[in-house]
Amino acid sequence: MFDGPVAPELDPAERRARLRLARGRRIGPVTFREALAHFGSARAACANLAVPSDGAIATEEAALARAGGRFLVLGDPRYPAALASLPDAPPILSAIGDLSLLGRRALAIVGAREASLAGRRFTAGLAASLGQAGFIVASGLARGIDAAAHESALPTGTIAVLAGGIDQIYPPQNAALHEAIAARGLLLAEAPFGTPPVARAFPRRNRIVSGLSAGVVVVEAAARSGSLITAQYAAEQGREVFVMPGSPMDPRHAGSNTLIRDGAILVRDANDIIGVFGLPQSSPQAAEKPAQKSGDTPTAKVLHALGAEPTAVDELVRRCQVSAATVAEVLLALELEGRLERHRGNRVSLM
């Protein structure tokens, strides 16, 4: 879906008319398309409908430009092709950041705001592996899983779709991440500049997250989670739905497990996703599958005894039958390699 012919640049007058039409009161994405079809062009539609003035659009465009952004108009060659194929594709997107990311295949990772540490770690490992495999990671810049996905994919490319205007920092905890994505990734927003995010905008945002992407990965979706809406959009849009499984006794996985039960693809690690798209499989990330050396060196023994769950250091010493000093040395080496996380209570886990 990314290999179609590149559209020619829109005529500037038609482009401006599309901006006016899209910002028309009560003109949603579907009405926008119908108006284009009915009148033959946005220019003709604007001549016949009550739409904002050229000046109002220029004011918004100037504010957007001052924030370092620009409009992507449906029909523009820069408008994301995967999204353009949707019947309710947003007529306009505000964009701040690296537009070249839109030319690469994206995968969405979405999930719980109240995510567990384990879920965020799984997400971070998955996003890093997908990034290394060449995918852009898209998400909704929410707390929890979304934030973990964006953060981990910043070095390889990430796209955040906002529910409010592109200048609206929400949630406040993600202010630094919002700024980092503007600088190193790409922010997109359907709502006009300056619009605060409102509740009904979130499901609409979700359709863009999935619509931009070849597939959606769901992590820790409880029953009635917003991530299930994204998965629903993805399925309707013909995108693959991937899901991290979890204990049926933990309500954080209730929605996720139902998705798998109903046919979504279970994800054990990034290779389960990469394999679906026929890309070469990467070696698993440390955070997904802790590396385990075979052999009987102290390092091998400690690695064997360590896992994603925090383990007390004295328990490690006992299990490995290696001196406490040697275990401490091995742990320090692992920590310097960035493979070890320390927890309160003198506990450690592999990252």
Taking CB under 8 A as the rule, does residue 277 contact its own copies? no
Residue among 196 and 307 whose Cβ is closer to its own copies: 307
CB under 8 Å to 209, separation ≥6 — which residues? 108, 110, 138, 139, 140, 161, 216, 230
Q: Which of residues 12-41 bind its own copies (CB under 8 A)?
A: none
Sign of CA dihedral 58, 88, 76, 39: negative
Contact, 195 vs 164, CB < 8 A? yes
| In the complex, least distance from residue 106 CB atom to its own copies, rounded to whole angstroms | 22
Residue whose entry in the numeric block shows the structure tokens 């495999």: 133
Q: How many chain residues bind its own copies (CB under 8 A)?
A: 42
Return d(Cα 156, Cα 322) in angstroms, integer.
Answer: 40
- Binder of its own copies out of 41, 116, 232, 326 (CB under 8 A): 116
Measured CA to CA in angstroms, residue 240 lies from 54, 128, 139, 276, 304 at distances of 40, 19, 15, 9, 35
Measured at the CA of 285, the angle between CA 280 and CA 289, to 5 degrees, comes to 115
| In the complex, least distance from residue 261 CB atom to its own copies, rounded to whole angstroms | 4
Taking CB under 8 A as the rule, does residue 331 contact its own copies? no
| In the complex, least distance from residue 281 CB atom to its own copies, rounded to whole angstroms | 14
Taking CB under 8 A as the rule, does residue 143 contact its own copies? no
Contact, 147 vs 153, CB < 8 A? no
Q: Which of residues 230-259 bind its own copies (CB under 8 A)?
A: 244-254, 257-258
| In the complex, least distance from residue 293 CB atom to its own copies, rounded to whole angstroms | 12
| In the complex, least distance from residue 176 CB atom to its own copies, rounded to whole angstroms | 22
Contact, 189 vs 162, CB < 8 A? yes
Taking CB under 8 A as the rule, does residue 128 contact its own copies? no
Interface with its own copies (CB under 8 A): 116, 118, 121-122, 244-254, 257-258, 260-261, 265-269, 272, 288-290, 292, 307-310, 312, 314-315, 343-347, 350
